[in-house]
């Protein structure tokens, strides 16, 4: 098959399938497990602060989150947290690494439809092994012309990926739930950036909506994508 000259790229977590809700459940379990040992006030802020501080060391994903939970538990209890609780925290993370894949409604049809006329990519960050597992379990891997699991989503990340497929940024589109990681860096290199907001967003992914960006669009759900592609010229 000759390469198609356009790219439609999708984020995975909370764009194609549920993700953040598993982090939310785990944060609640974290708070419950620490309840006997510390004041609950500011616990979630302390955990987010640890995640932010550790991003550069551990990268995105569940393993880094597990280490940040443990670090916070040690910190907020002045190193008094029992090993049994550390063990429970590890189990919380391991449960997350085994959670089943729950695709958003219509995802399979949208990807299948879009892939008829465009090269379709999956671009996701997180733990390599975990993202590979989720993609395999999702059953939609065969629809993608390429899968890119990256450590960070910067403008240069997208520029390099699109160039690798021989497509100019102006003919590429990135779709995702994160304004900060999916939309803004794609717009920054002249690609389309399509925001599909999801009601749970990790604090570290927050960013303001861009202004005066002709290649920015917002969809209320992914199933609106084929109509958008019918309206615009890539």
The residues that touch Mg ion, with contacts defined as CB under 5 A, are 11, 13-14, 177-178
Non-local CB neighbours of 9 within 8 Å, separated by 6+ positions = 120, 121, 122, 123, 158, 161, 172, 173, 174, 175, 186
| Alpha-carbon gap, residue 189 to 169, rounded angstroms | 7
CB nearer Mg ion, residue 91 or residue 129: 129
CB 153 within 8 A of CB 147: no
Position with the least CB separation from Mg ion: 13
Nearest approach, Cβ of residue 15 and Mg ion (Å): 5
- For the chain, how many residues are written? 234
CB nearer Mg ion, residue 118 or residue 153: 153
E-strand ranges in 71-205 read 119-125, 146-150, 172-176, 192-195
Nearest approach, Cβ of residue 156 and Mg ion (Å): 19
CB nearer Mg ion, residue 76 or residue 196: 196
Nearest approach, Cβ of residue 177 and Mg ion (Å): 5
CB nearer Mg ion, residue 34 or residue 173: 173
The tokens of 150 are what? 């990256």
Nearest approach, Cβ of residue 14 and Mg ion (Å): 4
CB 48 within 8 A of CB 161: no
Q: How many CB atoms lie within 10 A of CB 85?
A: 17
Nearest approach, Cβ of residue 201 and Mg ion (Å): 9
CB nearer Mg ion, residue 13 or residue 72: 13
| Alpha-carbon gap, residue 10 to 16, rounded angstroms | 8
């Amino acid at each position: 098959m000759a390469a198609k000259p356009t790219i439609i790229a999708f984020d995975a977590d909370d764009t194609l399938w549920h993700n953040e809700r598993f982090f939310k459940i785990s944060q609640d379990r974290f708070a419950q497990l620490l309840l006997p040992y510390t004041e609950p006030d500011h616990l979630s802020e302390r955990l987010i602060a640890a995640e932010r501080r550790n991003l550069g060391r551990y990268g995105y994903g569940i393993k880094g989150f597990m280490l940040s939970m443990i670090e916070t538990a040690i910190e907020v209890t002045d190193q008094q947290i029992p090993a049994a609780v550390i063990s429970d925290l590890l189990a919380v993370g391991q449960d997350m690494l085994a959670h089943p894949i729950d695709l958003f409604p219509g995802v399979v049809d949208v990807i299948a439809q879009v892939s008829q006329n465009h090269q379709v990519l999956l671009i996701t960050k997180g733990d390599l092994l975990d993202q590979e597992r989720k993609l395999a379990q999702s059953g939609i891997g065969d629809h993608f012309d390429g899968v890119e699991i990256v450590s960070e989503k910067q403008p240069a990340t997208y520029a390099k990926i699109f160039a690798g497929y021989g497509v100019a940024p102006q003919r590429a589109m990135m779709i995702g739930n994160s304004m900060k990681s999916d939309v803004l860096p794609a717009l920054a290199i002249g690609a389309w950036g399509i925001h599909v907001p999801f009601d749970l967003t990790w604090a570290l992914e927050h960013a303001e909506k861009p202004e005066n960006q002709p290649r920015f669009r917002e969809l209320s759900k992914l199933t609106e994508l084929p109509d958008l592609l019918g309206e615009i010229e890539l």
